[in-house]
Amino acid sequence: MELILKKDVENLGFKDDLVKVKNGYGRNYLIPKGFAVLATESAKKVLAETLKQRAFKEAKLIKDAEKTSKALAALEIKLSAKAGTGDKLFGSINNANLAEALEAAGQSIEKKYITIIGGTIKRLGKYNAKIRLHRTVNIDLAFEVVAKK
């Protein structure tokens, strides 16, 4: 079954992508939830026209995302958290904490676009996160978790 995505769907595609999925997944999940529409001939023509008009706007978005990625690469992020004996944390650090730290540093990025490599953090140390600024622009951000004093 061919569908045109109306929203970004994780592990499937981005908005306005033409994707092939199994019939049940499309009919029972994607279409009823409003994530996709059937890729009929007329829908494909409308999609082609929309993509042609959006090409200029897309170039500007990519340029802005690359500018933001350079600003993020220059940042040195240190998250402070309460730690017990050794290097074990009370609680954990996740993408929401990293989003708050980036906000404090002047870069507003939604937490859903931040993926901490290895999942939530439960120990002090240096870690990496993958940040998606645009569908074609991703950046690896190094940060450190230090003990709160």
Q: Are residues 58 and 72 in the same domain?
A: no
Q: Is pLDDT above 90 for 54?
A: no
| Average confidence (pLDDT) over 129-145 | 91
* pLDDT band (50, 70, 90) for residue 58: confident
* pLDDT band (50, 70, 90) for residue 73: confident
Percent of the chain with pLDDT over 70: 100
Of the candidates 42, 62, 82, which is a domain's last residue?
62
Closest by CA to 25, choosing from 11, 46, 15, is: 11
Q: Are residues 37 and 15 in the same domain?
A: yes
User: pTM of this prediction?
Assistant: 0.68
For 34, the token pair is 């409003």
Q: How many domains does the chain have?
A: 2
Q: What is the dihedral of CA 115, 117, 119, 125, to 10 degrees?
A: -120
Helices (H), 27-94: 41-74
pLDDT value for 57:
85
